[in-house]
Amino acid sequence: MSRIDAKFAQLRAEGRKAFVSYVMAGDPDYETSVAIVKGLPAAGVDIIELGMPFTDPMADGPTIQHAGQRALDGGQTLEKTLQIVRELRKTDNTTPVVMMGYYNPIYSRGVHKFLQDAQDAGIDGLIVVDLPPEEDSELCIPAKDYGINFIRLATPTTDDARLPTVLQNTSGFVYYVSVNGITGSAAANAGTVGPEVARIKAATDLPVIVGFGIRSPEAARDIAGIADGCVIGSAIVSRIGAGDSVPQVLDFVSTLAAGAHSA
C-alpha cells in the first residue's frame, strides 16, 4: 500500500476528509521552503503537493507563476526540489508527497533517472499537467514500475466520453479542477462542483480531491464536504509571496486544514 493509499484509508477510518496543500519548491528561497514543507504536517496537512518550478507554467495563474519565478531566481533546481523531500523524510516517513508540474524538467533529467531519484527521495505521486493520457507510455506507466502514483486531472470539460480515458491509468486519487482556466482565476462553487464529483465517483473507486478556486476555511469545508477532500495552493502561496514568516504561513495553513477537516 502506497503512502497515499494508506493516508486515505486512515482518513476514511477516522471519518475525515483530506486536506492537501500546494507550495512551490524553493519559494521564496530553499531554506524557507524546507522549513515550510517540514511544518505542513503539524499544521494539519494530509498530503503535500510540491510544485516543480518551470519557466513556462501554462496552467498556472499569476500567483503560482510568480512563485515559480522567485524560486528559479533563487537558484531552485529539480535536484534541490528532490532534496526538500529528502529533508522531510528525515523526520516524516508517513505524509504523502506529490510533485506537481510540467514534463520538460523530467524529460531533461531522463525519465528513468528521475523516477529512480524520486523513489529514493520518497516521492509518492506525480501530477504532470501537460502529459495527456495518450502519452501514458512517456511517464505514467513507467512511474507505476517505481511504485509512484500518477494522478490525473479531470476538468469541467471532461465529458462522459473522455472520462474513461482520463481514468484508465490514474492511481492514488483523481484531482478535479473545479473551474475552467488557470489556478487562482475563479472561486469554486460547491453547488456546481458536487454533481461533477458524483459523476466521477460513479466511474472510479479512487478518491476525488477538488482544487482550484478554494481560498478560505469556509470554502475548504464546503468543497471537502462534497468530495473526498480539497487542495489549496494559490491562497497559501500568496502569503509566502507577501513575505509572511514561516510561522505565519503555517498558522494560515492550519486554519484551512481545520476548515477541510470540519466537513
- Contact between residue 178 and residue 214 where contact means Cβ atoms under 8 Å apart: yes
Question: Buried b vs exposed e over 31-55: b needs ≥16 C-beta within 10 Å?
Answer: ebbbebbbbbbebbbbbbbbbbbbe
pLDDT tens readout for residues 36-86 = 999 999 999 999 999 999 998 887 889 999 999 999 999 999 999 999 999
Point out the catalytic residue in the list 46, 60, 124, 136.
60
Global pTM reads 0.96
- What is the domain range of residue 156? 3-261
- Known catalytic residue: 49? yes
- What is the CATH number for 74? 3.20.20.70
Point out the catalytic residue in the list 29, 31, 46, 49.
49
pLDDT at 58: 82
Q: Which of 18-22, 126-130, 158-162, 175-179 has the lowest average pLDDT? A: 175-179
Closest C-alpha to 261, from 10, 38, 4, 93: 10
Task: Identify the bridge partners of residue 181 per DSSP, sorted by sequence position.
Answer: none
Cell output for 250? 503555517
- Number of structural domains, the chain? 1
- Contact between residue 122 and residue 88 where contact means Cβ atoms under 8 Å apart: yes
- Known catalytic residue: 87? no
- Contact between residue 45 and residue 20 where contact means Cβ atoms under 8 Å apart: yes
Closest C-alpha to 24, from 14, 36, 12, 15: 36
Q: Which pLDDT band, with edges at 50, 70 and 90, does 180 fall under?
A: low
